[in-house]
Structures are given as C-alpha cells and as structure tokens.
C-alpha cells in the first residue's frame, strides 16, 4: 500500500500496521451474529432477494455515509460519543442525547444478543457430542426447540456469555481478544467458503440461490424497508455512537472513507457467504425458509451432517461464530461501561459489574421468550423481538437520523471536507461532495420517511 504523503524515513510500515489495526478493530465490531445469524434469518422471513436488494441500497445510501460521519466526528474530538457531540454542539443544543440513546440501544441489543451468543456456545458443546448433526428438519427443529424452551438452559447460557464477556472487559484484555478475533476471522471466512461449496453442490441448491438472488420486487413493502434499514444500522454498529468511539482512535493520517468502504464491503461479503451457505441447504433439505431466528441453528448442522469430517467442522464453525460474536459484544459492552466510567465516575470494574447485572436482569425476559414469558406480548411482540425491534428499528435509525442532521447542518460542509480529506492531503473532493450531499439530504430524508411510516404518521 503506497502512501504518497509519507516522507522518506518516516515509517511507512508503522502507519500501514496501525491503519490495518484500525480497519481490523472496526471490522471486529461490525462482523458478528448480525452476519451469520440475523442476516440469513431476516432475509428468509422478508422474502429473499428483494430484501437483500433493499438492504444493499440502505447500506450504500444510509449506512456508509453515517459510518463515515461517525468515525469522522469521533476522530475530530478524540473522545467518547457523548463528549464528542457535546463538544461539537453549539451552545445550548442538546446533541449529547444521541449518545444517551446509544447507551439505551446497547443495553437493548445486549439483552437478546447475549442470548443468541449463548445458543452458539451451547451448539459448540452439542456439536462435540454430535447430537445436533442431522439433515432431518423435524429432529433439527426439535433439538433447537429443546434448548430455547428450557428456562434453565436459556438463562444459564446467557449468564455464561455475560460473565465471560465481563471477565474479558474487567481484566482489560479486550485488546488482546481483538487481536485474536482478527486472526481467526480469515479462518471463519475460509470455513464459510467450504460450507458454501458443500451447500451449493447439494441437489436442488439452485432454488436457494434463486431465493437469495432473483428478486421479486412485489414483495417490497414499508415493513420490509424498515427491517432492511434496521439491519443496515445493526450490521455496521452505527446510529449509537459505537463507531464514533472507534473513530476517536483513528490516526489523523487514516483515509476514513476508504477504511469505512472496506469495512462495509468485507462485512457484506461475509453476510452474503452466510446466505450462500444457508439458503441452498434450506431448499435441498426442505427446511422452512422463514424459520426466523432458528434458521442458522437448524440448517448449518444439516450441511455439516452431510459432509466428511462434518462433526469437527461443526464444532469449529460454532467456535469461530462465538469468537466473532464476542468481538461484537466487547464493542457493545464498551458503550455503557465507558458511559458509567466517564459520566458517573465509576471504576471500570464497578461499571462492568453494573452493566452485567443490568443485562442479566433485563435480558432474562428475552432469554425466556420461548418458555416462561412466551405468552407475554408487548405491541404484539415477545420480549426478544421487542428488544430487537426497539434497538434496530427505533433507537439506531433515530440516532442515525440525528447524526446525519448534525453532520450536514451543524458540523457543516467545510469542516466535513477538511476532515475527510485529511486537510487537503487526500484528493477525494468529488467523493466527499457526494457523501456530503447524501448525509445532508438523502440519508436523513430516507430514514425519516421510513420511521414516519413505521410510526404510522402516513
């Protein structure tokens, strides 16, 4: 990678390593259960290719510009999200509220994310015993239902995950874990390729590809667009200040639009691979494509069951998925922990403990959504779906909308251009012009329309 602006003698390699490190850390937050579990499940329940198409559009038109803006704002002030917004706000304007909504979103996400991560950990052990490796849809669904309808297992695995992540955070070894995550990510990528290979050679695989890639635009509705937009926010960890915090660690020489574009592309690639791994197998074995959250847990074991050394691969797959989920959870935990440390003057240990206890408490109703609390519905949803809905479809888009308005109308074009061109060092004027147009007019308008539609304003 050449960097024209590095003078001779300046350690180009140093800069490269560090830029790569930032890329890796950002990717570590973005890639997680969203790619491997949520993307296939939502694509399955929302009509396949047409949903994928809308999701791609949301990612490019809204996701990427918001991500770039967040990273840029964070790098400009070099502080956490709330401080960043407060410092950049004109006197008397309460932009810090975006940070607060981010803390709420992080809690809501953690309440169900830790549960799904718990299922992944459980499947590592079930993979070792071989009990989940079956191509029979009835047995596969029953094995998964056994797990989620047992309150002790549901809560137990969730607590296991919460304690596991809290230990990593308290001992301050997150950086070490991030390094491990990044090293393991290519293995996850390769393993996904292997699963895709197997899945694509199953009889009837083309039906799965058709479902994923041949759009039927009549299936697009207001709710499909809302879901796709929510997924775009969730996937890129944006609209809640996480990327602002990451941006605060970015070097001044880093090319933000380029790094963000790479993160978005790599993230999309992993989601697509997960889709190609899952959907052909769904059709080949006659699973229910709209199975929702259980899709990953019933389909992937079936692919492994029909593969040489499938047993070993299954365990490896769930271990790597658990690692990716842990990377994302570390960045999620960081949001409330950093807030409690900085705004409430707590020690890191006390902040982590408080966060962990709150998630255990608030997460329990979500974990028990298929057992003890299954009949409790709020706005027609169980707690698991409610937390998911409120974070992805309300808090994050609302946060994203405010970030767009802040960047476009308060921060302003001149500073936007200066920051993203690294004060003229990168010649990217045209790209930045387009980005600014998107962030000032297009992205906020789209998010506002989709949200008003959801709130039944029209």
Contacts 24+ apart (CB under 8 A), 183-186: 184/320, 184/323, 184/324, 185/24, 185/27, 185/28, 185/31, 185/324
55 binds ligand PFF (CB under 6 A): no
Q: Which of 452, 24, 54, 388 is nearest to 234 (CA)?
A: 388
Contacts of 84 (CB under 8 A, 6+ apart): 73, 74, 76, 77, 99, 241, 244, 248
| Residues 352, 348: Cα–Cα separation, whole Å | 6
315 binds ligand PFF (CB under 6 A): no
400 binds ligand PFF (CB under 6 A): no
Which of 138-146, 161-169, 233-241, 421-429 is the region at the interface with ligand PFF (rule: CB under 6 A)?
233-241
66 binds ligand PFF (CB under 6 A): no
121 binds ligand PFF (CB under 6 A): no
332 binds ligand PFF (CB under 6 A): yes
Q: Which of 106, 46, 94 is nearest to 291 (CA)?
A: 46
Which of 73-81, 161-169, 237-245, 251-259 is the region at the interface with ligand PFF (rule: CB under 6 A)?
237-245
Taking the least distance from each CB to ligand PFF, the nearer of 80 and 134 is 80
Which of 33-41, 187-195, 347-355, 434-442 is the region at the interface with ligand PFF (rule: CB under 6 A)?
33-41
Structural tokens at position 297: 């847990």
328 binds ligand PFF (CB under 6 A): yes
99 binds ligand PFF (CB under 6 A): no
SS3 of residue 372 by DSSP:
coil
Which of 141-149, 295-303, 325-333, 447-455 is the region at the interface with ligand PFF (rule: CB under 6 A)?
325-333
The residue count for binding ligand PFF (CB under 6 A) is 15
SS3 of residue 381 by DSSP:
strand
Taking the least distance from each CB to ligand PFF, the nearer of 230 and 408 is 230
| Residues 336, 175: Cα–Cα separation, whole Å | 18
Taking the least distance from each CB to ligand PFF, the nearer of 230 and 310 is 230
162 binds ligand PFF (CB under 6 A): no
Which of 66-74, 82-90, 236-244, 279-287 is the region at the interface with ligand PFF (rule: CB under 6 A)?
236-244
Q: Which of 373, 454, 350 is nearest to 111 (CA)?
A: 373
Return the biggest CA–CA distance within the chain: 68
Q: Which of 34, 40, 118, 208 binds ligand PFF (CB under 6 A)?
A: 34
| Residues 22, 71: Cα–Cα separation, whole Å | 11
Query: Residue 123 CB, nearest distance to ligand PFF (Å)?
Result: 17
Locus of tokens 């304007």: 93
Query: Residue 232 CB, nearest distance to ligand PFF (Å)?
Result: 10
Contacts of 36 (CB under 8 A, 6+ apart): 270, 274, 296, 321, 324
∠ CA 54-25-167 to the nearest 5 degrees? 110
Structural tokens at position 72: 């840029």
Which of 142-150, 230-238, 354-362, 413-421 is the region at the interface with ligand PFF (rule: CB under 6 A)?
230-238
Q: Which of 242, 248, 352, 369 binds ligand PFF (CB under 6 A)?
A: 242
Query: Residue 33 CB, nearest distance to ligand PFF (Å)?
Result: 5
Structural tokens at position 397: 């888009």
Locus of tokens 């607590």: 159
Taking the least distance from each CB to ligand PFF, the nearer of 147 and 328 is 328
Phi-psi region of 287 (alpha: psi -120 to 50; beta: other; left: phi over 0): beta
Phi-psi region of 238 (alpha: psi -120 to 50; beta: other; left: phi over 0): beta
Residue number closest to ligand PFF, CB atom? 34
Which of 84-92, 231-239, 246-254, 289-297 is the region at the interface with ligand PFF (rule: CB under 6 A)?
231-239
Taking the least distance from each CB to ligand PFF, the nearer of 112 and 144 is 112
CA distances from 13 to 17, 114, 175, 247, 430 (A): 6, 38, 21, 21, 29
237 binds ligand PFF (CB under 6 A): yes
Taking the least distance from each CB to ligand PFF, the nearer of 135 and 331 is 331
Query: Residue 245 CB, nearest distance to ligand PFF (Å)?
Result: 9
* CB atoms inside a 10 Å sphere around CB 252: 11
277 binds ligand PFF (CB under 6 A): no
166 binds ligand PFF (CB under 6 A): no
The interface with ligand PFF within residues 1-30 (CB under 6 A) comprises 29-30
| Residues 5, 3: Cα–Cα separation, whole Å | 5
Q: Which of 51, 53, 144, 234 binds ligand PFF (CB under 6 A)?
A: 234
Residues in contact with ligand PFF by the rule CB under 6 A: 29-30, 32-35, 109, 234-235, 237, 240, 242, 328, 331-332
């Amino acid at each position: 990678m050449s960097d024209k602006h590095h003078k001779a003698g300046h350690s180009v390699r140093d800069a490269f390593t560090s830029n790569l490190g930032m890329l890796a850390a950002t990717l570590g937050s973005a890639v997680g259960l969203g790619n491997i579990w949520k993307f296939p499940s939502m694509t399955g329940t929302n009509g396949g290719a047409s949903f994928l198409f809308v999701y791609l559009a949301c990612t490019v038109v809204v996701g990427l510009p918001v991500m770039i803006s967040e990273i840029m704002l964070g790098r400009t002030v070099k502080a956490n999200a709330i401080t960043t917004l407060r410092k950049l706000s004109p006197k008397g304007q309460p932009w810090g509220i975006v940070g607060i909504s981010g803390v709420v979103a992080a809690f809501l996400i953690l309440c169900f994310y830790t549960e799904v991560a718990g299922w992944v950990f459980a499947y590592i052990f079930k993979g070792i015993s071989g009990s989940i490796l079956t191509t029979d849809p009835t047995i596969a669904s029953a094995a998964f239902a056994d797990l989620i309808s047992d309150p002790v297992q549901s809560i137990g695995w969730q607590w296991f995950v919460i304690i596991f992540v809290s230990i990593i955070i308290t001992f301050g070894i997150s950086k070490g874990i991030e390094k491990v995550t990044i090293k393991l990510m290519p293995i996850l990528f390769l393993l996904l390729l292997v699963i895709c290979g197997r899945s694509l050679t199953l009889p009837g695989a083309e039906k799965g590809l058709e479902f994923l890639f041949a759009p039927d635009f009549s299936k697009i509705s207001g709710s499909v667009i809302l879901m796709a937009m929510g997924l775009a926010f969730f996937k890129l960890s944006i609209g809640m200040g996480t990327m602002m915090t990451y941006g605060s660690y970015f070097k001044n020489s880093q090319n933000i639009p380029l790094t963000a574009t790479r993160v978005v592309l790599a993230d999309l690639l992993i989601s697509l691979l997960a889709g190609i791994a899952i959907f052909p197998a769904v059709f080949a074995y006659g699973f229910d494509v709209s199975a929702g959250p259980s899709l990953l847990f019933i389909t992937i074991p079936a692919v492994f069951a029909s593969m040489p050394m499938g047993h070993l691969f299954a365990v490896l797959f769930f271990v790597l998925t658990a690692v990716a989920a842990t990377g994302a959870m570390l960045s999620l935990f960081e949001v409330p922990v950093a807030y409690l440390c900085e705004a409430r003057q707590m020690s890191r240990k006390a902040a982590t403990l408080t966060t962990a206890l709150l998630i255990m408490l608030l997460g329990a109703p979500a974990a028990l959504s298929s057992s003890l609390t299954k009949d409790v519905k709020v706005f027609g949803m169980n707690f698991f779906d409610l937390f998911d809905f409120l974070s992805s479809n309300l808090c994050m888009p609302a946060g994203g909308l405010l970030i767009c308005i802040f960047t476009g109308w308060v921060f302003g074009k001149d500073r936007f251009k200066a920051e993203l061109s690294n004060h003229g060092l990168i010649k990217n004027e045209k790209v930045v012009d387009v980005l600014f147009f998107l962030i000032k007019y297009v992205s906020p308008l789209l998010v506002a329309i989709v949200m008003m539609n959801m709130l039944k304003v029209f």
